[in-house]
Structure 1
């Protein structure tokens, strides 16, 4: 394993290649000159804000200066927080890359066709030598179950009042397209001893299946453990399309490029153990919140197919499917970038920053009229030159950690009639997940469920707010789990640094007092007691959930540091959002579909009856209008 040095085409990772990297644009063009100027500006900008941030938090600065500060933070993270876990070696170049996404994520980069493919390793945002799990028994101190029960289990539901429950569903929907560690080990367990007063139904010890090891890794490497992604690393919609051709073919009609929809629903899983779960690309931990979005975007795929076929009547099934997938995945990426993210990080600075990620600093009409202009900063990441930064692209273990957003899930759900807001039923989480997913949808209907989720609030991402149903949850495989405990165990098992070490790796100051961790003195004392007065033992999850977020933010600034790095990287490393985000690849009709549609458009295309609830709502992930009879 190694950390690649330099930027795209320089020493380190790319030095392993036997061919030169061609420039994105011919030398001497305006874009090349602008790129040199922007890179020089970035270096000066970073130097300035390293000094500014010693005295002032970025969110306390005026908006234009705060935007420059975020640019500096992102540039530093790109330079110092990307680490490759793969074994150095020769990569076999591929001369011809297909103008479509492959089923397994291969062939994204001409010099490293395996990059981001299903079955490749997760990367890291911390130095490799800092990712070794602590030795036992220190690793289990303090007891993860004690941490969970005292600090994470929900005492009373704390709502996030600026969001709706679809925002909670959305991030799980997206996570399933980004990463999966696969089935846990069938024979190796992490045992957690419980005290005599613990009410865990199965008694002591609590047994947590270990993460399945990386079978491709030689034991002689001597580096910390690595793990492989069982889905593609790319932002390619694999949660609905699958990460293998075999799975994908099971989901398609075989005609007109379309995916299977039967009586308005996805097909049922054929495995009897999964009866009641949709057959889709990735259905782990399935519930109605996922089914709503999986089904919605399968229907959107089919609508894109119809539109493309009307313009290109001679295209066959495969051409229609591959092109519609490109368009649908890009639309999901855009919705996440310019709608979901400014919804959960609700400040003018982030709204501007995330729109700039997609569109750049120029007005949107310039992209519509002229396409991408200038550099990443001027014209946006989307349509700029592909660049992996200082390491080959991969989802990272630290990124997975900061997206453990389980407090978003409510305990109770009011099912309401979308026509008059009348209460139909109140249910808890258990009957609407797993095998209860499809029966619930048939019972209440799409319109009522979407409306009910649209007007209800998710949980706030904070301590003592992990959903009750997930602190004693029986999975479809029969495992009984406390997800709050598992959130602590997984970070320790996979060598994700504890909170203070994590902050230090991101060049944030270490916390020296529990009172500096949270504004709540009672909570600070509770954390102190659990961690036996040792601030450096505080787990990453606890620190991030305790930390007071910047104004308007739904999660901590520490988590945000990984976010601003990886949110941009998922676009910048993907050739279908950079070099190949063109009318030639997507078709003019496909580009127009992406650029002119948003989440509200998708909802109303397939559920026009929801128009009154969405009328005047600026962001589909904010609370919708309550409908009066």
Structure 2
């Protein structure tokens, strides 16, 4: 069912509004609480649902659907069909020889952290059939379902024999704030804030499932690994393998992602132990909440202090006011700024990280030279074996590989593993991540590339020949694919741009990423630098500011020595040092 189906049905309108548009949210106790709610409600006391779980993804630009309401954008400005996303992928996203270029400065932690934080910010569920049964959109016996938006595969495709690639549309949601009927929106199933939701969950049920109520620590399994999931949500390579359980259900997608989940579960448990030493009378709930608050602060600090400087230029960090303070408190909280993860950021822009995916993951031994057990990416989707094998004794080897090995470049090229073999089944049928990204943008009604250039105040192209920030070679490819320059998909145009000096991404993605992270920072009442009951004492904040991701990794995953900046490869200016040389939090400040 889409919003076009419910325009004239008062009964269904009222039902949808009662589920997604609560009018009475009591924030009385939240206004004085030092801890954020698990579902994000009442972070903003004026707009209690902003940034909360199970709310619509707001937009920077109005939706563009073919019918103005919900039909995906599938027509060019001249009325002709838009090119198939698979055709675009074959021509724009395929790397020469299927070998993507290496980034000689950045490490795989850029990819791993980007995915981890992305999963802390947004999760868009897809539609399901009756009884929550997955929907099939390709095949002879499949009816033309409104939930489906399958991708057409060209007859001359170099890899796929089929003519159809599965694609189920994102679950619809009424518009936000007042829930007046209008163009279809999409749900964010989790909180938008950088709050550790991927560690703790975004609902009370998930929080209780993961928490040890006796100690205030997070539940773990033997080997100090993540706890097993109740449902089999992954593949296994050995009898001792198991599917991991975490605050976000995508934890098993790839071992580098699961490693960051494990990292912060271990750090939470370590912090609880340290707090118990200085506050032996605190209850287990108090210990849990204070550790959760510190973890949220560390996630924000690493993201803004280390990750964003690895992908944005210094100028963009300044322009969007993303730099952290060196001392004192921030006074930038703005209750009129909506922190919620925006639709375009989720459905297109932050997917730039897909070009960072390497062809393999491996173990790097203690000598920092020996790479063993190299495993292709396509064989470890939803398979946590590399992380959990041998009772977790190889965790440090995997982490060492991630913080030391070169990333791929941010560009328009995707590894064959994700372009031809994504989620490949036993029959050799896979999917194309690049094509899925383009189709998701059209599914969500994202305006095309040029409209976003205008929104950002950048030069807008009037023809393919004068596309700014894109090389002549890529202009030719885009001109061969699209009928007009105003038809280019946001993701396709964004990844085709030449990166700015000192940045990993081009001017358009820099603009949208900068705006989104400004919203997340200045629109969060519980931002860790803020003053007041929601924040830390000044002495505690000084301690938190000491910590770098390198210290968290070496302390909890056994990577010792390690370079100070784990987002960049070791070098004379970023040389390995002992874990004991890094400053750490003095928990006496919590007495």
Q: Does the pair score TM above 0.5?
A: yes
Given the superposition, is the C-alpha separation of residues 500 and 565 from structure 1 closer, same or farther in structure 2, using an over 3 Å criterion?
A: same
Given the superposition, is the C-alpha separation of residues 501 and 162 from structure 1 closer, same or farther in structure 2, using an over 3 Å criterion?
A: same
SS of aligned partner of 1:138? coil
**Aligned mates of 1:431, 1:192 — CA distance in 2:** 24
User: 1:466, 1:484 within 8 Å by CA — same for their partners in 2?
Assistant: no
Given the superposition, is the C-alpha separation of residues 148 and 351 from structure 1 closer, same or farther in structure 2, using an over 3 Å criterion?
A: same
SS of aligned partner of 1:523? helix
**Aligned mates of 1:268, 1:477 — CA distance in 2:** 25
**Aligned mates of 1:212, 1:476 — CA distance in 2:** 25
Instruction: Name the residue aligned to 1:545.
Output: 495
Picking from 148, 156, 177, the partner of 2:89 is 148
Aligned residue runs from structure 1 range 183-332, under 5 A: 183-185=126-128, 186-187=134-135, 188-199=147-158, 201=160, 203-214=162-173, 222-262=181-221, 263-274=223-234, 276-284=242-250, 286-332=253-299
Instruction: Name the residue aligned to 1:82.
Output: none
**Aligned mates of 1:551, 1:396 — CA distance in 2:** 26
User: 1:338, 1:355 within 8 Å by CA — same for their partners in 2?
Assistant: no
User: 2:149, 2:167 within 8 Å by CA — same for their partners in 1?
Assistant: yes
**Aligned mates of 2:22, 2:273 — CA distance in 1:** 45
Report how far residue 94 of structure 1 moved.
2.6
Report how far residue 193 of structure 1 moved.
2.6
Report how far residue 608 of structure 1 moved.
4.9
Instruction: Name the residue aligned to 1:358.
Output: 324
Picking from 560, 564, 567, the partner of 1:610 is 560
Given the superposition, is the C-alpha separation of residues 490 and 283 from structure 1 closer, same or farther in structure 2, using an over 3 Å criterion?
A: same
**Aligned mates of 1:592, 1:210 — CA distance in 2:** 46
SS of aligned partner of 2:553? helix
Given the superposition, is the C-alpha separation of residues 231 and 495 from structure 1 closer, same or farther in structure 2, using an over 3 Å criterion?
A: same
Report how far residue 324 of structure 1 moved.
0.8
SS of aligned partner of 1:330? helix
> Is 1:122 aligned with 2:57?
yes
SS of aligned partner of 1:567? helix
> Is 1:525 aligned with 2:476?
yes
Aligned residue runs from structure 1 range 294-443, under 5 A: 294-345=261-312, 347-349=313-315, 357-359=323-325, 364=326, 367=327, 371-372=328-329, 383-389=330-336, 392-400=338-346, 401-404=348-351, 405-437=353-385, 441-442=389-390
Given the superposition, is the C-alpha separation of residues 430 and 464 from structure 1 closer, same or farther in structure 2, using an over 3 Å criterion?
A: closer
Could you give the per-residue CA deviations for residues 283-308 of structure 1, whole angstroms, max 9, x where no partner exists? 32621111111111111111221222
**Aligned mates of 2:172, 2:471 — CA distance in 1:** 40
> Is 1:175 aligned with 2:118?
yes
**Aligned mates of 1:448, 1:272 — CA distance in 2:** 26
Could you give the per-residue CA deviations for residues 584-616 of structure 1, whole angstroms, max 9, x where no partner exists? 8545675344222111121222245521x42xx
Query: What's the TM-score once normalised by structure 1's chain length?
Result: 0.75
User: 1:459, 1:465 within 8 Å by CA — same for their partners in 2?
Assistant: no
Report how far residue 340 of structure 1 moved.
0.8
SS of aligned partner of 2:102? coil
**Aligned mates of 1:136, 1:397 — CA distance in 2:** 15
Instruction: Name the residue aligned to 2:586.
Output: none
**Range that drifts further, 179-188 or 279-288:** 179-188
Report how far residue 506 of structure 1 moved.
2.4
**Aligned mates of 1:153, 1:454 — CA distance in 2:** 27
**Aligned mates of 1:504, 1:354 — CA distance in 2:** 18
**Aligned mates of 2:122, 2:534 — CA distance in 1:** 30
Given the superposition, is the C-alpha separation of residues 88 and 211 from structure 1 closer, same or farther in structure 2, using an over 3 Å criterion?
A: closer
Could you give the per-residue CA deviations for residues 219-275 of structure 1, whole angstroms, max 9, x where no partner exists? x95521111110011111101110111111111222332112331211121213436
Instruction: Name the residue aligned to 1:481.
Output: 431
Runs of at least 5 residues in structure 1 that lack an aligned partner in the other structure? 1-85, 373-382
**Aligned mates of 2:203, 2:384 — CA distance in 1:** 27
Instruction: Name the residue aligned to 1:504.
Output: 454
Given the superposition, is the C-alpha separation of residues 273 and 585 from structure 1 closer, same or farther in structure 2, using an over 3 Å criterion?
A: closer
Instruction: Name the residue aligned to 2:411.
Output: 462
Given the superposition, is the C-alpha separation of residues 593 and 321 from structure 1 closer, same or farther in structure 2, using an over 3 Å criterion?
A: farther
Aligned residue runs from structure 1 range 94-133, under 5 A: 94-97=27-30, 98-127=33-62
Report how far residue 152 of structure 1 moved.
1.2
Report how far residue 315 of structure 1 moved.
0.6
Could you give the per-residue CA deviations for residues 122-164 of structure 1, whole angstroms, max 9, x where no partner exists? 1111145788667675175111111111111333211222110
Report how far residue 495 of structure 1 moved.
1.2
Picking from 87, 95, 106, the partner of 1:163 is 106
Query: What's the TM-score once normalised by structure 2's chain length?
Result: 0.79
Given the superposition, is the C-alpha separation of residues 523 and 129 from structure 1 closer, same or farther in structure 2, using an over 3 Å criterion?
A: closer
Could you give the per-residue CA deviations for residues 550-601 of structure 1, whole angstroms, max 9, x where no partner exists? 1121011101111221212111111111795458854567534422211112
Given the superposition, is the C-alpha separation of residues 92 and 424 from structure 1 closer, same or farther in structure 2, using an over 3 Å criterion?
A: closer
**Aligned mates of 2:37, 2:148 — CA distance in 1:** 36
**Aligned mates of 1:354, 1:136 — CA distance in 2:** 30
**Aligned mates of 2:569, 2:439 — CA distance in 1:** 34
Greater helix content: 1
**Aligned mates of 1:605, 1:576 — CA distance in 2:** 26
Aligned residue runs from structure 1 range 43-122, under 5 A: 92=25, 94-97=27-30, 98-122=33-57
User: 2:404, 2:566 within 8 Å by CA — same for their partners in 1?
Assistant: no
User: 2:420, 2:431 within 8 Å by CA — same for their partners in 1?
Assistant: yes
**Aligned mates of 1:306, 1:590 — CA distance in 2:** 17
Runs of at least 5 residues in structure 2 that lack an aligned partner in the other structure? 1-18, 129-133, 136-146, 236-241, 577-591
User: 2:122, 2:190 within 8 Å by CA — same for their partners in 1?
Assistant: yes
**Aligned mates of 1:564, 1:217 — CA distance in 2:** 23
